[in-house]
Structure formats: structure tokens, C-alpha cells
Amino acid sequence: MRLATLKRGGRDGTLVAVSRDSSRVAEVAGYATLQSALDDWGAAQSSLKAAVEAAEAGGAAALGDFAAPLPRAWQWLDGSAFPTHGDLMQTAFNLPPIETAKPLMYQGMSHRFIAPADDVPLPSEADGIDFEGEFGVVTGDVPMGVSAAEALGHIRLVMLINDWSLRTLAPAEMKTGFGWVQAKPACSAAPFAVTPDELGEAWADGRVCLPLTVEVDGEWFGHPNGRAMAYGFHELVAHAAATRDLPAGTIIGSGTVSNAEHAEVGSTCISERRAIEMIAGGKPETGFLRFGTRVRMQAGPFGAIDQRVVKR
């Protein structure tokens, strides 16, 4: 099933099911918000399926007034599961490899996810405005110590996310060892969160095996495939839950989608392209974003994130 949130009904919006062609929606009886359905997932199934059937049968027209599927979430944990991305950054900036046998992950801000067609307000072009295309999953309640095999059954929905980054601010925060605050503003999300079965064969081994296409001002930037994760989402969920429970509505990201064949498939963030340019020619050629630039991301059934960067 394909679920979305309309920009009405309060800060958490109104939950709707969406038809396969994305043209019609139907509200979900008994569940005003996506969070309320996630909190009661098993019991909510009959209402969710009825809403899907109503949308397919001729629900209300989808007018494009979509919020992020979860306009605010209990938790946002972002991984870095594509080894090519890390390898390129370490090579370009002469950084020592991170010695760990575990997934990399940090906790970001979760109290706001920007709607897929809204402008993205940021303070200054001097901050090195960058995008990062990634996939994410939304969990149900996950018990502490869950195994990776068990974690797969706690993944409720899959999303497409733009994890905005301010690259000039990031190095100083990384050196503190406390994680990012100023360098990581709110993320954006594509309009539709889908159940894993909606992806068909593109959901395999806890991975979204689809190309993620990025365009900047209408120009192709990249379309790497999500299958190249070193850790599947079930392994990321298990890692996050090793010493704590995860509440229903936790969002876990894959990190920047990146492929070893980057010369052919491009990248999903500017910083990676700059790293490739530095390795090849000694200096970066691609600049970070300017106000007024439009960034579009799309993959499979998630709909598009299509936004302008604007001055706050």
C-alpha cells in the first residue's frame, strides 16, 4: 500500500491512502495521522486496506497538497551504508579509514520533515548547501536486542529522503565527536511512504534495489542504485536497537546512495562529485547550491521531491 499525509488537520496532517497511479486519495477511518496507524499497526490493517480500495475505486483527487509522510517523527537515525561514498571522501580528503565492524549511524533532528514541494529555507550560501539522496524505512515498535532477521518484520514503510547538509559547518562539528547540529538542517521527504511489498522484486535483502535519480535545475546529476548497501535496512534497525527500544515511527536512513560505477551513474550529493573531481584533477569543480536552485529527486513509487533552496 501507498500512504501519504495531507497538509490539513493539524501539525501531523491527515493520513490518506493513495491509488497506484497517484491521482486519488482516501482518508483512513479511525486513524487521523500516520503516527496513530503506526502505533496500532496490526489493528489498523483493515482500515488501511479499506482506504486503499476506496482510493483505487475513485477517491478524492490528489491535489498535490502533500506534507512529508511523517511531518514530525519520534526519531531520525541516519546510517552510512554505501561504502563507495565513504571511500571517495576518505581518498579525496586524505582521511584515515574508520575502523569499525559495525554500521555507521548518527541521530539527527526529527521534529520536522519538509514537504516534498515546499521551498527549503536556509541561512547562507556560504554554508556549503548540499543535498543527499537516500532511502529510509519507518519502523514499528522494535524491542531492544532484536536480531537482524527479526528486525525485517518490524519495518513498516519505505521512504525517499533528501538529507540536506551544510558542508562548510560540518568539519568543525565532526571534530567535537558530539555529532551534527548546525550542519544538518531538516530533511525533506517524498510524498508517498510505501509498504515493502509495494516494491515487489525491488525490495530484496532489506535493500531498495531502484535507481535514485537526481536533477539540479533540470540537469541530470546521477541515478545510482540502492542495492549497493553494505548493510541492509534490517541490519541498520538491529544496530540501532542494540541497547534501546525503538518507538513506532522511528525513521532510519541509508545514507547517501552511491555506486562504484559513479563515472557512469553519477552521484546523489555534490560533496561526492567534488571528491571525485579532486581525485581526478586535484581540485573540485562543482559548486554548492545557490539560492533559487531547484533540486528534484525521484525513485520508483515514492513520488518526487522537487524543491527550491531559498534564503531564510
Q: Is the residue at 106 inside a domain?
A: yes
CATH value at residue 101? 3.90.850.10
Q: Of 12, 13, 194, nearest to 111 (Cα)?
A: 12
Give the residue from 11, 27, 61 where a domain finishes. Answer: 61
217: left (phi over 0), alpha (psi -120 to 50) or beta: left
| Whether 110 and 209 share a structural domain | yes
The pairing of beta strand 294-298 with beta strand 203-204: unpaired
Q: Is the residue at 66 inside a domain?
A: no
| Whether 248 and 129 share a structural domain | yes
Q: Is the residue at 293 inside a domain?
A: yes
| Whether 134 and 186 share a structural domain | yes
Residues 99 and 255: their CA atoms lie apart, in Å, by 18
Q: Is the residue at 68 inside a domain?
A: no
Residues 75-91: tens digit of each pLDDT:
999 999 999 998 888 88
Residues 149 and 87: their CA atoms lie apart, in Å, by 28
Q: Is the residue at 220 inside a domain?
A: yes
Q: Of 114, 186, 160, nearest to 300 (Cα)?
A: 160
Range in 12-21, 97-106, 107-116 with the lowest mean pLDDT? 97-106
| Whether 237 and 291 share a structural domain | yes
**Percent of the chain at pLDDT above 70?**
99
Q: Which domain holds residue 163?
A: 75-311
| Whether 44 and 97 share a structural domain | no
Q: Is the residue at 239 inside a domain?
A: yes
Q: Write out the three cell numbers for 211.
A: 535507481
Q: Which residue has the cell 520533515?
A: 113
The whole-model pTM stands at: 0.96
Q: How many residues does the chain have?
A: 312
Residue 260 CA: distances (Å) to CA of 85, 136, 310: 9, 21, 33
Q: Does 100 score more than 80 pLDDT?
A: no
| Whether 89 and 32 share a structural domain | no
Contact 4, 192 (CB under 8 A): yes
The pairing of beta strand 75-79 with beta strand 187-189: unpaired
| Whether 225 and 280 share a structural domain | yes
| Whether 127 and 204 share a structural domain | yes
Average of per-residue pLDDT values in the chain: 95
Range in 72-76, 86-90, 202-206, 279-283 with the lowest mean pLDDT? 86-90
Return the pLDDT at 86. Answer: 85
Residues 80 and 239: their CA atoms lie apart, in Å, by 12
Return the pLDDT at 204. Answer: 98
Is 167 exposed, middle or buried (CB count within 10 Å of its CB: 0-12, 13-18, 19+)?
middle
The pairing of beta strand 75-79 with beta strand 250-253: parallel
pLDDT band at 165 (very low <50, low <70, confident <90, very high): very high
Q: Write out the three cell numbers for 217.
A: 535545475
pLDDT band at 176 (very low <50, low <70, confident <90, very high): confident
Contact 139, 250 (CB under 8 A): yes
Q: Write out the three cell numbers for 275.
A: 571528491
| Whether 100 and 240 share a structural domain | yes
Q: Which residue has the cell 501519504?
A: 4
Residues 220-259: tens digit of each pLDDT:
999 999 999 999 999 999 999 999 999 999 999 999 999 9
Residues 67 and 7: their CA atoms lie apart, in Å, by 5
Residues 27-72: tens digit of each pLDDT:
999 999 999 999 999 999 999 999 999 999 988 887 779 999 999 9
Q: Is the residue at 69 inside a domain?
A: no
Q: What ranges in 3-144 are assigned the alpha helix state H?
A: 34-39, 41-58, 83-92
| Whether 196 and 285 share a structural domain | yes
Report how many domains make up the chain: 2
| Whether 79 and 57 share a structural domain | no
Q: What ranges in the chain are assigned the alpha helix state H?
A: 34-39, 41-58, 83-92, 148-151, 170-176, 233-240, 262-265, 270-281
Q: Of 30, 8, 36, 4, nearest to 17 (Cα)?
A: 4
Q: Which residue has the cell 537516500?
A: 134
Residues 54 and 169: their CA atoms lie apart, in Å, by 47
**Partners of 79 in the beta sheet?**
105
| Whether 102 and 55 share a structural domain | no
Give the mean model confidence (pLDDT) for residues 154-158: 98
